[in-house]
Structure 1
Amino acid sequence: MKPLKQIYYVLLSVLGVLFLPYIGAWIKYEGNFSKDYFNFPALSAPDKAGFSVLAFSMAAAFFLAVVVLYAFPRVYGFKKVKFTPTQPSAKIPLPIWFWVGLVVWGLTLFMTCGKFQEPKWLLNWAYIPLFWGFTLMLDGWVYIRANRNSLLSKSPHEVIGIGAAATVGWLLFEYLNFFVDDNWFYPKADIVPEDEFGVYAIIGASGLMPAVFEIYNLMNTFPAFRHRYDQGPKIATSRRTRNIILIVALTGLFSISFFPEVMFGVLWISPLIVFTVVLENLGIWTPLTPIKDGNWSPFLKYSLCYVIYGFLLECWNYFNAIHDPLDPANITAYTPAHWVYSIPYITKFHVFEMPLVGYLGYLPFGAYCAVWWILCAFLLNIPTQFAHDEYSEVRAEPLEIYTN
């Protein structure tokens, strides 16, 4: 297929994710949206359905199945992968950007978690240095473990590209959040003017994806983990099957405004499916491509990356606010981007602001980050080391792989 036609289909998939939810909502409300339907940032959310034992039990069972998959992959038919370790390389000093990141991240974390009310210029924009400071630290760690081979040291332009792609990639989810009646909202966003929050959201979103690729590269510097999921069940799908899955995902996006509570999870799954299927049909590599050969490592590791990063984000977010033990809804925060959740059926057993089984949403989002960057890099004709697993693995040492 000619490149121009490939670009056409990729753009069509993006437009589908953007417009199908809007078309569904327009039909539901007959074009008469409430005046606050598309308000951003949302300061509150409509009341949702209460706790459901059945829904929670189903989600908890899936949560447990995922934990078993990561901890004991052989239960699911994965073969054990062994490696022949070599002598570690000479010690390398931490690069300067690690220390810069540590100072920026540490100072910002101290100010936010210390519940300081000043200086406003820092607190109002706190998540930007928090996200990027952490990313610089991760890159410095990868640098010393991977023999001076890290994103910033070898491909600083790609870090900038991923940050730019992250802005659009995350704002897409903020947009989809309108159609599920605000699964998350920002109760203290009115600390700053609405237009300032909009600028903050655009710039701040740039820090939500680069850390994923840094964590992924860091994982690959640990030989015992790097190939842990290389020899799994082989699952190949025909083009017809993929197209059926694509239609189901697009239908889900169209339908979410009709059933926002029942289908709130579609928000996290459908964009990943749509973009992955379209790229696969065009012959463009995605983290799910190697599954047909039994190699689940890229997909499972990218998914795990955002569970790790998401847990840290939730931790930082929770401890920058004061919570009333008698009234959990009564929150005092001095950073406008503090977020809370309004999720039906599963809203019990919180870990920070997030319900425990809600962390499942970070699994598809981690894979989405990789797929979204590959899609953006393709559209913009930007070379990326993440377009194939062979080039995305940063090696700490040579390995000899064999299976039992």
Structure 2
Amino acid sequence: MGPRLILLGAIGLAVSFAGLWLDIGFIAQPFYAYAWWSYIFMLDGFVAWRRGSSLLTTRRRHLPTILLWSVTFWYFFELLNLRYQNWYYVGVLGVGSVGDALSGALFAAAAFATVFMGLFETYEVLTAYGLARRVVIRPRQLAPWVSYGVQSLGAVMVTLSLVFPYYLAPLVWGSLTFLVDPWNYRCGARSILAEFERGHLGVVVRLLVAGLLCGLVWESFNFLAPQKWIYTVRGLEELKLFEMPVLGFLGFPALALDAFAAYGALAYLFHANRTWEHPDEVSQRLEPRAPLATRAFAAMLPLHLVFWGVVGLLAMTTNVGSLQLELEHLETLPPGGVATLEAQEIRRPRHLLPALEEPGRRDRIRESLELTDDGMKELYEETRLLTHKGIGHHHGAHLRRLGYRRVEDLRGADVETLYAKLETARDGARFPALRPSMVRVWVLGAEAEP
């Protein structure tokens, strides 16, 4: 089964990148989800091939819990981001119809369901290859107060991140571990504190490495995707790898610990205290317990859906910066221009931009659109502006009317002043979202361009 999963994942990745390159709509727009699930299938195949056991082959009973709670787990951070405002989404599928809204919701669920799976599968690969098996310290019984002290520290971390989000929002990453893992420890569930007590540090090391590796893959796929997120962590925007400030990658190892702790509690409640890990790799003694009834698990499904929906709606006016950009949104494109460009296999502004930068193709486009040199220049500058850092057509149209008709016009702009002008031009509109931090991303991006 392992080789077949590896092959399936490899084919999936190839199709994902081909669909992105060829701009096949139902593949290119949700590229991130296709690519991540293909990556997960490949990892699971490696684990199954090497060990004869994996999440998708012999431990499938954990999948409903992993997938469902992975989505809720990430929506919890989306809820917190309403306060932190550390990232936002651009190029999001339109919400003009029920079909578009459902497509967007399904994409979000498919993408967020990869959080637990991606971290756990990466951890499994590292475990299968023996990483940090011999990293041990002297076992030591923890005093009863330790778990409560750790839990109190977690509560302080979350509180500080919420009260002072401008400076201390990063404290949220890892705080869930400090809050949940002590409860796991006291209940006899899978626990990082229990691993420390036994002197086994391999689990923690592998989780930290898995988190960092997943972060690199997450951010690389996101960088290529038409629908993506952009970070707005004040003071860290200057030095980035993909769309992530370099220091921000430290949050991914902490996220892996959070996921491990969260699922330890879920396994205790819903899986008779049996973990998702390979049985041979669990040195901690886990006493079986009566799980909650399947009916209880199913009864919680509507609560999950309501939570996803409420957070998703709140995020639309706070964390969605632009919608999918279409050729129809280009105001400088003459009547009939969309059909003319599509006949030349140019279906999106993101494909029009490189075409306009090639002298030969630029001349053919100018002739087919019957534009003057000045008209072509206007079309080029508008396309650059609307595709710059996911500005999109809503904000792009306002910028152009305010006199910011080129990316270069954003250089040196005062962020607060420009934000105030845009808010006035929006005349109370709440969607898509606009924040000073978004404007700062545009200005810094313009200043960074050659």
Provide TM-score, normalisation by structure 2: 0.57
> Residues 257 and 222 from structure 1, CA distance in 2 versus in 1: closer, same or farther, beyond 3 angstroms?
closer
Partner of 1:151: 55
Q: How far 1:202 sits from its partner (Å)? A: 2.3
Map residues 340-379 of structure 1 onto 2, 5 A cutoff.
340-379=230-269
Task: Give the deviation of 1:205 after TM superposition.
Answer: 0.8
Q: Which residue of 1 aligns with 2:420?
A: none
Structure 2 alignment gaps of length 5 or more: 284-450
Could you tell me which of 178, 194, 213 is aligned with 2:82? Answer: 178
CA contact (8 A) 2:87 2:232 kept: yes
Task: Tell me which amino acid in the other structure corresponds to 1:206.
Answer: A
The 5-angstrom pairing of residues 215-294 of structure 1 reads 215-223=122-130, 225-229=131-135, 231-232=136-137, 234=139, 237-294=142-199
Distance 1:143 1:385 in 2: 17
Deviation at 1:190, TM superposition (A): 5.2
Mapped pair 1:130 → 2:35: yes
Q: Does 2:105 align with 1:162?
A: no
Q: How does 1:65-80 map to 2 (within 5 A)?
A: none
* Displacement after TM superposition at 1:226 (Å): 4.4
Contact 1:288 1:298 in 2 (8 A): no
Q: Is the Cα contact below 8 Å between 1:101 and 1:134 reproduced in 2?
A: yes
SS at match of 2:56: helix
* SS state at 1:291 partner: helix
Structure 1's 101 and 192: CA in aligned 2 closer, same or farther, altered over 3 A?
A: farther
Per-residue Cα deviation, 1:26-48 (whole angstroms, up to 9, x for no partner): xxxxxxxxxxxxxxxxxxxxxxx
- CA deviations 1:97-117 (Å, max 9, x no partner) are 2212211122113333x3x4x
Letter in 2 for 1:177: N
Go from structure 1 to structure 2 and tell me whether the alpha carbon gap of 1:104 and 1:366 turns closer, same or farther (over 3 Å shift): same
Q: What is the deviation of 1:143?
A: 1.7
For 1:271 and 1:279, locate their aligned partners in 2 and report how far apart those are by CA, in whole Å.
12
| TM-superposed deviation, 1:382 | 5.1
Contact kept? 1:131, 1:207, Cα under 8 Å: yes
Query: 1:263, CA displacement in angstroms?
Result: 1.2
Matched, 1:206 2:113: yes
Residue 234 and residue 362 in structure 1: after superposition, are their counterparts in 2 closer, same or farther (change >3 A)? Answer: farther
Q: What's the offset of the Cα at 1:391?
A: 4.1
How many matched pairs? 279
CA offset at residue 137 of structure 1? 0.7
Q: Percent identity?
A: 18
Between the aligned partners of 2:268 and 2:105, the Cα distance in structure 1 is 28
Q: Which is richer in helix?
A: 2
Rate the CA distance shift 1:389–1:226 in 2: closer, same or farther, 3 A: farther
Render the CA deviation track for 1:217-240: whole Å, top value 9, x for unaligned: 2112224x24142x2365654332
User: Given the superposition, is the C-alpha separation of residues 235 and 344 from structure 1 closer, same or farther in structure 2, using an over 3 Å criterion?
Assistant: farther
- SS state of the match for residue 154, structure 1? coil
Alignment of 1:280-319 (within 5 A): 280-319=185-224
Q: In terms of Rg, which structure is larger?
A: 2
* TM-score with structure 1 setting the length: 0.63
Q: What letter is aligned with 2:236? A: I
